[in-house]
Amino acid sequence: MSLYHIPKRCNDEARMMQSGIVPFGLECGTLHGKVQQGSTVAIVGTGPTGFAALPTTQCQAPGKIILIDLDDNRPAIATMRGAPDTINSTEGRALATVMNPSRSGQRK
């Protein structure tokens, strides 16, 4: 359902990114997650797929995006990539934070 021509000028690394991670982030995260304008979105896991889901989710103009991960380093990288809110889920407060949209701007 998502076949696109990749220009010959693209190197193998770019082809790999465009053929796997980015479409997966868009289709499985944003489209199948039914992200809508003004909604609160939790992206669980800030690996390659989570990072790919971030910009595709931002295109849908949700009210809040929260990235959740167990690793202390990855939320810092997510913040550099434009994630407004991040949570380290080892503290056990991820669900409560996601369900309470009034806690905007908090990074844990």
CATH number at residue 48: 3.40.50.720
Decide if 1 is inside a domain.
no
Q: Each residue of 25-43: pLDDT tens digit? A: 777 777 778 888 998 888 8
Q: Each residue of 42-79: pLDDT tens digit? A: 888 888 888 888 888 888 888 888 889 888 788 788 78
Looking at the 3D structure of the chain, how many domains does it have? 1
Is the entire prediction scored with pTM above 0.75? Answer: no
Q: What is the pLDDT of residue 101?
A: 56
Q: Which stretch of 2-11, 15-24, 59-68, 79-88 has the lowest confidence by average pLDDT?
A: 15-24
Query: If DSSP codes are grouped into helix, strand and coil, which group holds residue 53?
Result: helix
Cβ-contact 53, 32 below 8 angstroms: no
Instruction: Tell me how far CA of residue 75 lies from CA of 14, 30, 38, 68, 99, in angstroms.
Output: 24, 20, 22, 7, 19
For residue 84, give every residue at least 6 positions away whose Cβ sits within 8 Å of its Cβ, in sequence order, or none. 64, 65, 104, 105
> CA-CA distance, 59 to 18, in Å (whole number)?
17
What is the extent of the structural domain holding 69?
A: 12-99
